[in-house]
Chain A
Amino acid sequence: MTLPAGIQDVQDVQHATGTGAGRRTSRPVALLTASALVAALMAVPLVFLLIEAAGSGAGELKGLIFRSLTWSLLWNTVRLAAVVTVACAVIGTGAAWCVERTDLPGRRVWAVLVVIPLAIPDFVVSFGWNSLWTWAHGFTGAVIVMTLAVYPLVYLPVAASLRVADPGQEEVARSLGVGRVRTFARITLGQARGAILGGCLLVALVLLAEFGAFEILGYQTFTTEIFTEFHGYSFAASCALSLVLVLLSLLVLAGEGALRGRGGRVTRTGPMTQRITPPQRLGRLRWPVLALFAALVLLALGIPVASAVYWMTAGLPPALSGGANVSLLNAAAHTAGYGAAAGALATVLAFPVALLAVRHAGRVRHLLERSTYLVLGMPGVVVAFALSYFTERYTAGFGYGTPALLTACYAVMFFPLALVGVKASLARAPVALDEVARSLGQRRLAVLCRVTARIAGPGLVAAFCLVFLSVVTELTATLLLIPTGTQTLATQFWSYETNLSYSQAAPFALVMIVVAAVPSYLLWRFFQRPAITRG
């Protein structure tokens, strides 16, 4: 699962108000080279896909794309994406506004509770619903499950942007004679516009890429079909469908870019002081709103957890037998190992690109940075498929099924997340500090260690956590590329789940939630910190 790129908006504001950044005149040859290499690596899956498609011939490709299956997949994918995105936008924005701007009782607690579902893998949520109630399947099931699983992707950036947006604008609107409701529509939504769009973009991309949840719910989309075709060794068909899926993702990206336009930026004039403004009074709506929050948390958090606990206790003896315990520990260790390796790799890869983006102006760096964001439009199943097929075609299978390939796949998939985190953290360490440090007699390397890395450190940890978290809850690419004989929490859960061994699958779901909770907490702490450090 992906996480808030909408947070970028908030970080952009910091960057704009921060001083001293972005002036350097010498051409950063080493940085440009490193960034170009990273961008090239990110482009490998897409380029390979295009080469393959071109190689298989236009006629065959046309036949594979223009068939009734494609249209039904397209209809399934698009209608689900549309409904769930709108639902997430409403729930995420509404919840964020209530938590950040109203006198909702227990706001601090809700702020945590409504975000936790993000740490629960989508396929665990769908397992929770589907294993308890058989009616939770197909389109209805997919809408319910996905909305509950991914609405925090809208909530988080919107809450962050409302936190830094100037509440004074609302007051000015009221003083100009605009009523409460219209102020909300014209000012508040305007302030959060970029964040809402960013969140919706992520939701749509997640829906295009989702595999496990839909497989459980018996809902067929491009991703599930690509997976099936790939497993059936129909590479040409996988390739053709992947192209359509990538095109769809790029359309979503382009659409978001067009909607965003030039307006809708969170801007704030004057010093970035956190002024305390009295929250809006909910009044008579207080109890209904509270009830809605309780229902949301119950459905999104309560049911998956309760369901996993229920199945685990239902089958207590076999699930906790010695052998199961060992496999649980093993799987947890593998999951954590892959998460850490991919997190480190993605963060390291993101570093030069982020440094270039934050500290050097220019068209080349802009292009490089943008090109790496293309990966956002590459669903995990496509990246995994492209990489595995790549090894099959060009290295005679060498590298396939190795931990290195899976780690690389994760690093490519989650590179945009790492980039967001690293950029945000580097923006906190302006060039001016480096210059001062050098004038105080410190060499470049010492400056990097004693100043830049120290200030950017927490943000680098956040970037690492983002990737780690995503790897823990990743299923699609993992199933395709995992070395034979190795099991992660996700794959082990999956194999029990598909065998309908719910009581054996349940402990893996719970451990996954626990493992994902730690980096989630660190992340939450990071974004909760006051955004601006003076000096």
Chain B
Amino acid sequence: MRDVTVGGLGKTFGAQSVLAGLDLEVPAGSLTAILGPSGSGKTTLLRLLAGFERADTGTIGIGGVLVDGPGAYLPPERRRIGYVPQEGSLFPHLTVAGNIGFGLPAGQRRGGKVDALLETVGLGGFGRRYPHQLSGGQQQRVALARALAIEPAVVLLDEPFASLDAHLRASVRADVQEIFRRAGTTAVLVTHDQDEALSVADRVAALRDGRIAQCAPPEDLYSRPANPRLASFIGEANLLEGVVSGATVKTLLGALPLDPAAAIPGAAGQVTVLIRPEQIDIAPNEDGLTAHVTSYRYHGHDAVLCAQPEDDAGVAPLVVRITGGPHRPVGSAVTLRARGPVFAWLAD
């Protein structure tokens, strides 16, 4: 179990700067997700951590050892990194057992350890099959077992669930999470899927413009993002103007309790307030903000509607997530009510 420390990491391909002074701390034993849109440099970061590429600037330390930096470079085979690539990349010429035992010393390639790993990933008895005889989810789990076999200091996963069908994704995700919890392995997972990042990881690092914009536990990142831009990047966000006085903040939706974590100096002044769609409800009576529905999307477990406040044409429509209730046709009137506590930043 090792920690990973990245400082000022920079990487440029041709004229394109991919990473620009990226800092990241991955605590030992944690499962950290790197969340970023496609093309944001997530895979480049992983490849630098694994040692497949060299950094232009900055340093990478694994377990206190400098593996990449000025004058230092440890090749991938000496980093003890368990790498699980996007497509699994199983060796097509080897059986499942052969794949898992690949990184082990010749004497240990068959027998107990490989079988135990097969059990761990829920594929007991699959040892003699070939990769092409497995489903996508099974291939992914073999790739994971293969990485775990070498008892890696850190496991790196590159969009490990992206190639799986939706119904399979949730179960494989849960299995992987469980495997890591039990093994206590330090793991870094990159993904563009917020759901995945928030549900699997202990810590989520949002990657934007070649830097980590914020790295925090998922709950914090979602409800207390570092700035309004990040708030819109992680999930849907209603950003409203508000005025703070003491422990409450006055908004279009009335006075709401302010999250104590929102450190507003002097506890007063103009702020930007974050209200997540699920913090807004449709009130059963007329007590609230009157608005009319501009769009309505039904998802089964919930529904998301956009509502334009009647009196305030200058405000963007509010995004509201409701559970249950009748169908809300476009144009119908609704009364909205918000629940606190809400997070806020000092307005620029």
Q: Which residues of A contact B (CB under 8 A)?
A: 19-20, 25-26, 428, 430, 432-433, 435-443, 450-451, 454-455, 533-535
Taking a contact as CB atoms under 8 Å apart, the answer to whether A20 and B83 are in contact is no
Complex Cα spacing A49 to B134, Å: 56
**Known contacts A19-B87, A441-B150; A435/B132 CB under 8 A:** no
Residue of A20, A437, A443, A454 near B87 (CB, 8 A) is A20
**Known contacts A25-B13, A436-B83, A439-B83; A535/B88 CB under 8 A:** yes
B8 at the interface (CB under 8 A from A): no
Q: Looking at the assembled complex, report how far the CB atom of B11 sits from the nearest CB atom of chain A, in whole angstroms.
A: 10
Residue of A432, A443, A533 near B85 (CB, 8 A) is A432
The A interface is mostly helix, strand or loop, or mixed, namely loop
Q: Looking at the assembled complex, report how far the CB atom of A24 sits from the nearest CB atom of chain B, in whole angstroms.
A: 9
Taking a contact as CB atoms under 8 Å apart, the answer to whether B91 and A433 are in contact is yes
Taking a contact as CB atoms under 8 Å apart, the answer to whether B85 and A454 are in contact is no
In the complex, chain B residues whose CB is within 8 Å of the CB of A535: 87-92, 131-132, 134, 139
**Cross-chain pairs A/B with CB under 8 angstroms, 5 sampled:** A436-B83, A440-B83, A441-B103, A535-B89, A535-B131
Complex Cα spacing A110 to B131, Å: 33
Q: Which of B52-93 contact A (CB under 8 A)?
A: 52-54, 75-83, 85-93
Taking a contact as CB atoms under 8 Å apart, the answer to whether B78 and A533 are in contact is no
Q: Which residue of chain A has the shortest Cβ distance to B90 in the bound complex?
A: A535
Q: Which residue of chain A has the shortest Cβ distance to B85 in the bound complex?
A: A432
**Known contacts A439-B79, A442-B103; A451/B89 CB under 8 A:** no
Complex Cα spacing A395 to B52, Å: 48
B102 at the interface (CB under 8 A from A): yes
In the complex, chain A residues whose CB is within 8 Å of the CB of B79: 439
Total inter-chain residue pairs, C-beta < 8 Å:
86
Q: Looking at the assembled complex, report how far the CB atom of B60 sits from the nearest CB atom of chain A, in whole angstroms.
A: 14
In the complex, chain B residues whose CB is within 8 Å of the CB of A443: 77
Taking a contact as CB atoms under 8 Å apart, the answer to whether A432 and B87 are in contact is yes
Taking a contact as CB atoms under 8 Å apart, the answer to whether B89 and A430 are in contact is yes
Complex Cα spacing A440 to B103, Å: 5
Taking a contact as CB atoms under 8 Å apart, the answer to whether A455 and B77 are in contact is no
In the complex, chain A residues whose CB is within 8 Å of the CB of B82: 439-440
Taking a contact as CB atoms under 8 Å apart, the answer to whether B83 and A454 are in contact is no
Of B51, B85, B90, which is in contact with the most chain A CB atoms at under 10 Å from its CB? B85
Complex Cα spacing A293 to B89, Å: 44
Instruction: Kindly list the 6 A-B residue pairs having the minimum CB-CB distance in the complex, ordered from nearest.
Output: A440-B103, A535-B131, A439-B83, A535-B90, A438-B76, A432-B89
Complex Cα spacing A533 to B131, Å: 9
In the complex, chain B residues whose CB is within 8 Å of the CB of A20: 85, 87, 89
In the complex, chain B residues whose CB is within 8 Å of the CB of A436: 83, 85, 89, 91, 143, 146
**Known contacts A20-B85, A20-B87, A441-B78; A455/B102 CB under 8 A:** no
Q: Looking at the assembled complex, report how far the CB atom of A93 sits from the nearest CB atom of chain B, in whole angstroms.
A: 32
Complex Cα spacing A428 to B92, Å: 9
Taking a contact as CB atoms under 8 Å apart, the answer to whether B83 and A455 are in contact is no
Q: Which of B192-222 contact A (CB under 8 A)?
A: none
Q: Which residue of chain B has the shortest Cβ distance to A456 in the bound complex?
A: B93
Not counting A20-B85, A440-B149, A535-B89, a sample of 15 additional A-B residue pairs whose C-beta atoms are within 8 angstroms of each other reads: A19-B86, A20-B87, A430-B89, A432-B89, A435-B50, A436-B146, A437-B91, A438-B51, A438-B76, A440-B103, A440-B150, A441-B80, A443-B77, A451-B91, A535-B131
